[in-house]
Amino acid sequence: MAFINLAQLIVSIVLVLLILVQVREGGSGLFGAAQNTLRTRRGMERTLFQFTIVLIAIFLLISIFSVRFA
């Protein structure tokens, strides 16, 4: 069970870092303001976005697994 907790901790830290890296430049505020313009993700930005979605799914599965077998 300690392995599951450690895996969840590592995934959550990586997930937070990925989300912070994806914050768009410009704007005011601490991490930037939301932009009203619509644009597509390309290259590395798209890869990071897709990897973030995969990590969210992994985090959810680990969370469900740890609650189920606790």
**pLDDT (tens place) for every residue of the chain, 70 residues total:** 899 999 999 999 999 999 998 876 544 455 555 555 666 778 888 899 899 999 999 999 999 999 998 8
pLDDT recorded at residue 31:
55
pLDDT recorded at residue 34:
54
Compute φ and ψ for 30, nearest 5 degrees.
-65, -50
pLDDT recorded at residue 13:
97
C-alpha separations of 37 from 1, 2, 24, 41, 47 in Å: 45, 45, 12, 12, 21
pLDDT recorded at residue 27:
47
